[in-house]
Structures are given as C-alpha cells and as structure tokens.
Structure 1
C-alpha cells in the first residue's frame, strides 16, 4: 500500500520532468508545450523506503510518454546518470527523484508485477487516524505466465537507454516502453494499461527470465 501525503512539492513533479524530458533522445513532445499528466500508477517497495510511481505524460499534441520515477530520502550510490532532480516535500523533506529504470528497487517491483501479477499499489491518505483510499487513475493488467518464485533482484547489470529501455539483471530482463502505443510485440510476459479515453490495453513493459 502507498501512503500519500497532502503536501507541497517544490519544484513539482511536472516541473522536474519539463526540464528533464526534452534532453532524452526518445522524447517526442511538442516544442514549447506544457507538460500534461495523463495517468499514473504505483508499485510497493516491500521495505517501505522508496516511493515508486510511473507517470504517463504528454507535451501538447505529442505522444504519451511513460516515465517511471523513484523517490528517495537520500542519494542512490552510483545512480547520478539517472537523477532527474531534487525537490522539497513539505512533509518528508528533501527527496531525490530518479528515472526508475536505473533503480534496482523499481526493477524488482516491475519484475514482480509482470511475472507474479502483484498488481499496482493501493493508494491512501491518513485522515484523522483512519485510512482514506484514493481511486487509481488507470488500471494495469498482465498477459503471460504467472510465477510464484520470481527471482530476487538486488542490482542491475546494465541499462540500455532508448525506446524501449532495456534493464538487464542477473535473472530477469525488462523492457519499458517510453512512447506508449509503440512496441506491441516484444518477447516476454507483458504489462498493459488502460485509462480514461483509452479503453483498449496498451503495452507498458515486458519481462522475461534470463
């Protein structure tokens, strides 16, 4: 479950992405257009230390881009190339925001979601000592074999950035679609998503055992 806070972020997530996305080779947004949040989904970190959120965003009439992010309370060693930026959270303090494709906690969560169909995290607020749920802005589904024995992922061997971005670990290989609607036939079990005005599932990511 993902505990959310009614808090202010400075800069906001969209402001961070608006500065970071145009420098990505796979970005195809409309030049000068404001960045729009289309939908999002979250995964749980079993240790409860890292926030894991994937945003679907669009700039103007450009394609919808999928941007997985991890939020950490301290820098991740060796992950400087994946740092999107830092922000001040009015409840949690400074947060380091990473392109999650370079974060092993995200790789482990994505592998479990696809190979074991663990689903997205349930989101809630704490209100006067009780939980108040928030409805998800999109649904995710899995196509492919479900396993109960997904190998643990503690590190990433390499990341091949691009569209899709390939995340290679010792036991699992993952492919994350950057421009949603592309790459509909990659090998492995598939994670797909639907959201408002998109009732047909579109591929988001793939996973296969090595």
Structure 2
C-alpha cells in the first residue's frame, strides 16, 4: 500500500510540471502554467521501487482554467533510455534525489496500469497512506468483459493517457476499457476518464 511522506520536494511537483507542460503539443495555455491540484490517485509498485501518481491539475494562468492529467513515475535512479520522458529531478526530504518521469514512458507504470485495467490491483488514495481510492473505476465498452475480455491480461493493445480529461468523459469510440478518476472542479466533485485501453 502507498506510503505518503510528510516532507519537502525541491523543486516541487508543481514547479516541474509547470515547466514541462508548455513543451507538450497538447498544452492549451501560453507561457508557464500556474497549477492547482484538483485530484487523482496512486498505484503501487510490487517491488517498492517506483512511485506512481496520477495527478489532475488546473492551469489557472489565464482565463478559463485548463484541466490536465499528468501521470508521474518517481524513481531513485535514472531510467536508461527514457530521457525523452524525464520532467526533471527533485530532492525529496526523505528519499533523496528522485528522477521524475512522465508515467507513460515508464515500463513499471505501464505494467501496473494494465494490472489496474485487468482488475488485478486497486487504486490507492492520492494523499493518505495505506488507503484505497474507491472512486477510481474501470469502465468497459459494451460487450467487453473484464481482464482477458479486453486483452489487457495478455498484454495486448495500447494504453493511452487522456491528457485533457473532461468531467463525465468516457474513453474514445475505439476504446475497449478506460480508467476513471475523481477530481474537483469549482468545488464540485466530478469523475472522468484519464486512461484508455484499445
């Protein structure tokens, strides 16, 4: 079960994400983002080596806030060959230097998302240690069963991060299954798809 440390990070997650977002083709703002965390969840690494967090943030820099989903993988050492996915490093007050990657490029993250879609692991609370997050769900397209029915258990198919989640949103028309996460917009609890499998 995920253990959340009450400590500092330098630079912070918000600082790393804010500098990284404008370099992404799906970024809708201008200049550096000003971020507010709206919600999300975590997954456990069975080996205990990689931290995994799925963060829903709002960029409030200008006008109507833009909502983004940023999945992160935290490692205690550099992941060879994953330079393109690196947001940066941060000094964690308990764990030391952490290499922080866009989760989509991390093989442990990929494996655990598949396990979540297959129903083999449960989502963890974003902020509370050793606590499940019951509001994270896996929905399936009509006619799709769990696990093998979607091809997840066999490792087939593609996992896609939904970078601009929408409250109440589901997977695309070609998706066999999708993960929905909770967050809050304007003080109202909502849920929407953040990962899809096709």
Superposition TM-score, scaled by structure 1 size: 0.77
Structure 1: gaps (5+ residues): 126-131, 153-170
Q: Say whether residues 1:195 and 2:191 are aligned partners.
A: no
1:101 deviation in Å? 0.7
The equivalent of 1:128 in structure 2 is none
> In structure 2, the residue corresponding to 1:96 is in which secondary structure?
strand
Q: CA deviation at 1:63?
A: 2.1
CA displacement at 1:151 relative to structure 2? 3.3
TM-score normalised according to structure 2 size? 0.81
Report Cα offsets for 1:165-206 as digits up to 9, x if no partner.
Answer: xxxxxx331111000116742421111123335555311111
Bigger strand share: 1
Structure 2: 5+ residue runs without aligned partners?
none
RMSD between aligned alpha carbons?
2.5
The answer as to 2:185 corresponding to 1:207 is: no
Partner of 1:165: none
How far apart, CA to CA, are the structure 2 residues paired with 1:135 and 1:25?
33
**Does the CA contact (< 8 Å) of 2:41 and 2:54 recur in 1?**
yes
Secondary structure of 2:179's partner?
strand
Total equivalences in the alignment: 183
Contact 2:22–2:32, Cα closer than 8 Å, also in 1: no
Kept in 2, the 8 Å contact 1:73–1:94? The answer is yes
**Aligned residue runs from structure 1 range 1-210, under 5 A:** 1-29=1-29, 31=31, 34-60=34-60, 61-116=64-119, 118-122=121-125, 139-144=135-140, 145-147=145-147, 150-151=153-154, 171-181=156-166, 184-186=171-173, 187-197=175-185, 199-208=189-198
Once residues 49 and 77 of structure 2 are traced to their aligned partners in structure 1, the CA distance between those partners, rounded to angstroms, is 10
